[in-house]
Amino acid sequence: MSSSGNTGNTLLALVTGAIIGAGVGLLYAPESGDKTRKKLKKGAKDAQLKLNQKYQETASIIGEKAAKAKVEFESKLEETLSNASYKADDILLAMENKLEELRKKNAKLHKEVTVEKAKTSANKAVV
C-alpha cells in the first residue's frame, strides 16, 4: 500500500514542480510574449511526457506486483487445499478403521446371541 502512496506523492511533486517552474519562468522571462509562450508550451509538453513516463512505469510496477501476488496466492491456496486433502484422508481412514472394529464387535455379539438362543432352545427341548 505504501508503494502506491509513494507513487501518488511522486506524481503530485512532479506536477507541482512543473507548475512552479513554469511560473518562475514567466516571472523572469526577459523574452517576448511569443517566445515565452513557446517555452511554456515546451515545458508543458516536457512535463506531460515525464508524467506519462512515470504513469507507464507505475502501471508496469503495479502489474508486476499484481502478477506476483496472484502466483503467491495460487501457491498458498494449492498448499492449503493439499493439506486439507491429506487431513480429510486421515479422517476417512480413521473412520473406516472404527467402522471395521464396530462390524467385528457386531458380528461377535450376533454370534453370542445366536449361541444363547440355541442353548435356550435346547434346554426347552430337553425339559
pLDDT tens figures, 103-116:
999 999 898 888 88
pTM score > 0.75 for this model?
no
What is the per-residue pLDDT for 47?
A: 83
What is the per-residue pLDDT for 121?
A: 80
Query: pLDDT band for position 1 (50/70/90)?
Result: very low
What is the sign, positive or negative, of the torsion defined by CA atoms of 86, 88, 89, 90? positive
pLDDT tens figures, 54-111:
889 888 999 999 999 999 999 999 999 888 888 988 899 999 999 999 999 999 989 8
Nearest-CA neighbor of 55 among 5, 2, 10? 10
Grid cell 449361541 in the structure block, residue: 115
What's the rounded mean pLDDT across residues 29-42?
Answer: 74
Spatial CB neighbours of 22, under 8 Å, sequence gap ≥ 6: 40, 43, 44
Nearest-CA neighbor of 119 among 111, 59, 62, 11? 111
